[in-house]
Chain A
């Protein structure tokens, strides 16, 4: 009983614990060690609190759970409406899981303006969780925009050589795209009189919204552009490599691990549920863009001389899988898309951390600068290999499950797409293993590398949880899919109804 009484407030707690921590940090004196320790504690508290969510989650139910719905502003009719279903549940946990690791990986590497760094990191965590938990379109938009500022500052202040360029590019791309979403949200509000996602969905399904048929395509595109830039879907991906290369390690981890998923989450939650008919209409070209993203991203990744850029382009490729899975409109495909999101968050997060560790020692990401590291840094090399294999999609590790499901879904939708997408799996093995070979095998070509130290305690503490999660997800995917499956089924229902209507005519 006591857990039930906690339920409505647990989401609020999880969302705002990091923010409270950030506010606490602002009043603290600039003693870097204290600040790091407190950030770690705060992010761990958020993680432990968020574990409450899957533990008490009713897996068989499809609807929103832990809901809280209170009026915030009466005019316009904005509610503080939060809740999670099987789709958002794991994304919240992914965020809270990665943040403590980000704190650990930044322990030594950030030594200038430490206080600002951790304040921004914690604010970013709150905003990211908020994106996944809000059920009020206004609240959602608020958190959506709120992720921009701390992320842009993390890139622009703590990044590398071309940080300002990358930060501004990132900010402008996503800001301009989300303005279209705002326009669509405002239109929906003007016609329905509410920002509540559940209520709007109900009204749209009932067909009581005036002028909706005429505007639906534009609304769909308004939402879709904002999400597509975030994913990033080809051809909106150009901001991503710049942002990743210049971002500090923790920024990259959260950017790839969580921020990109905001886009795919948005497609799944808003495009599919609010505009099922338009989703069906537009699916062909979206799937083609996703396929281009998968193959193009992989091919470009292969020729990158820069390790971080390579991982960035691999994200473009992997997120292509997610979009393909979503717009295949099959149960398998959507399950797979969700699973790839989580798996990619863990393994690419891990890859960025590993790349960051190397950068800290040698201040370069150039692959050609390394070689033969396996003999010098054995623990590092082993960890790297493990994460690379997870990312490549070795069975029994997390990458495999998701890609397998997506491909099955794509085959069901259209066999040709499945075949084309399957090549992406091969490509990813090519570029990651080739990169691994160039960095770790062979002779040590640069004498500087002989003095590189192996992983230290903080770094192990950051990497090994990723590896453990990758293994667990690969061995027991049902732990995750059990909650995802009903939610995905519910998300698909309107689409299936639309399809049967078309067939019926």
Chain B
């Protein structure tokens, strides 16, 4: 009894533990506040008021992330790990949610959607995404994954009067549950193989003993689950349908937020466990996603479907950064992947903000023909969309360029020449369909009258933030990249980081010696 008591005390979470999940706590509180207030205020006012509360919630979330960053370490019996890596993704997903909420103000009013659950679900979703990036316990990761997924399932169906939206929601839900089940199977098998569900412990175990078949199966199953979440081929088939039906701002959210979080999990699972047998799986998934995504996008006429295929392609570019084997290359790959998620978030959220504004009531105007002559009728909106599209192509001075640049140069340094060539060729194909949108906007005369409302303050702010972020990442990528590089060290197992530092010093001299 006497020695049991201190052990019990230790097991009870300490004060600092709560600081390490502070953003999640704050966001949950705001989410609950939105839900509670929803029936109390009348419908007219609720839209604005609840929106602002949610917005304040995300700002408080960012502030609490900043506070959380000052006390890094493990929490809740090593289930949660706060390091610069998780702080990075916290900032990212919360900022995404903030911008999406800003761009939703106008959308909600136009589409006549009841606001209460909508904003609350966004906040709850972000809780899940944040937790995904800081959890190092596979079971907790699963829980976080479900929190974020379930809120996005519901959000996808928010245009209740549209059949396509319900279809989108149901499809996403059924296939998504299927995929998370795969993930859970993988976790169970990993537990069977290593006796632990903690990523660090698994990593140590795998280094100590040669991996059994079970480990390979477990990694493959987990990859299926996460591959679905990031919309990587061959688990991408759901994407176009779901994106087409879901509300446009929500597509902006779910193509970036949950994706970034799932990539964070994938980074931890792939690199921190350092499990064998993933290389070719990632290689093939990357090559397939890039190619299928780009080819699929070529023939699309609906702009939401087009960007859905583009998001598959971008998942492919991102996966290129995962196909690393040596520790030094892994560091490059991890930081490149982190930068990519940030740059992609900035441009894609922005693009969907423009699309949601332009779609108008009932999302009537979402085909390429509707965009004809937009450059003349609303030049500013068209110029903004052009910046995002140029960034998606990967034109210099935009975030998209450096994102691709870091990924491909990491791949080249790892001697993945073929994968780089596939990627570079794909970026050239990709340029064509993004360009098509720019061409119809500027070079075609409008064939029908498409009403464009004046841009509201909230949307204007959202667009300004996205444009600034895209250009900032394209002109001064240094700070974000350095932050990502520092964070990358936390994702690798301790031993290999020191190895990497050593090999880093040795290579130049050996290179000289050969000649």
Contacts and interface: CB of A to CB of B under 8 A. Distances in A.
A179 B424 CA distance: 7
A153 B396 CA distance: 17
Given A176-B428, A210-B511, A210-B514, A73 B478 contact: yes
A198 interface: no
6 contacts: A141-B396, A156-B443, A163-B443, A180-B424, A186-B405, A208-B515
A217 to B, nearest CB: 15
B59 interface: no
Interface stretch (A167-175, A293-301, A353-361, A473-481): A167-175
B421 interface: yes
Contacts of A148: 395
B36 interface: no
Given A186-B420, A189-B409, 12 more contacts: A74-B478, A75-B481, A157-B442, A164-B439, A164-B443, A175-B428, A179-B425, A180-B424, A183-B424, A186-B408, A186-B409, A207-B515
Contacts of A179: 424-425, 427-428
Of B379, B397, B435, B512, which is in contact with the most chain A CB atoms at under 10 Å from its CB?
B435
B431 A157 contact: no
B425 to A, nearest CB: 7
Contact of A167 (B375, B379, B406, B439): B439
Nearest to B510: A210
Contacts of A168: 435, 439
B378 interface: no
A149 B398 CA distance: 13
A247 to B, nearest CB: 13
Contacts of A73: 476-478, 481
Contact of B396 (A146, A157, A172): A146
Contact of A172 (B421, B432, B444): B432
B390 interface: yes
A142 B443 contact: no
A208 to B, nearest CB: 6
B421 A153 contact: no
A164 B435 CA distance: 11
Contacts of A189: 409
A153 B383 CA distance: 12
Contacts of B397: 142, 146
Q: How large is the interface on A (under 10, 10 to 19, 20 to 34, 35 or more residues)?
A: 20 to 34
A9 interface: no
Interface in A153-206: 153, 156-157, 163-164, 167-168, 171-172, 175-176, 179-180, 182-183, 186-187, 189-190
B408 A172 contact: no
B70 interface: no
B419 to A, nearest CB: 12
Contacts of A183: 420-421, 424
Interface of B is mostly: helix
B395 A190 contact: no
A145 interface: yes
A459 B432 CA distance: 38
A172 B478 contact: no
Contact of B478 (A75, A113, A156): A75
A149 B390 CA distance: 9
B485 interface: yes
Contacts of B396: 141-142, 145-146
A142 B375 CA distance: 25
A245 to B, nearest CB: 16
A159 to B, nearest CB: 8
A145 B515 CA distance: 36
A172 B443 CA distance: 16
B376 interface: yes
Contacts of B428: 175-176, 179
Contacts of B375: 157
A76 interface: yes
A145 B376 contact: no
B503 to A, nearest CB: 15
Contacts of A190: 409, 412-413
Interface string B401-419: 0000110110011000000
B482 interface: yes
Contacts of B420: 183, 186
A186 B412 contact: yes
A74 B485 CA distance: 12
Contacts of B406: 76
A164 B375 CA distance: 14
Contacts of A187: 412
Of B379, B424, B427, B439, which is in contact with the most chain A CB atoms at under 10 Å from its CB?
B439
A193 B379 CA distance: 42
Interface string B41-68: 0000000000000000000000000000
A171 B435 contact: yes
A498 B514 CA distance: 22
Contacts of A175: 428, 431
A482 to B, nearest CB: 35
Contacts of A182: 424
A189 B413 CA distance: 9
Interface in B7-62: none
A74 B482 contact: yes
A76 B396 CA distance: 14
Nearest to B406: A76
Contacts of A113: 376
Interface in B422-472: 424-425, 427-428, 431-432, 435, 439, 442-444
A142 B481 CA distance: 19
A149 B408 CA distance: 23
A242 to B, nearest CB: 14
Nearest to A164: B443
Contacts of B444: 164
Contacts of A149: 390, 395
Contacts of B485: 75
Nearest to B335: A75
A156 B439 contact: yes
A14 to B, nearest CB: 19
A179 B395 CA distance: 11
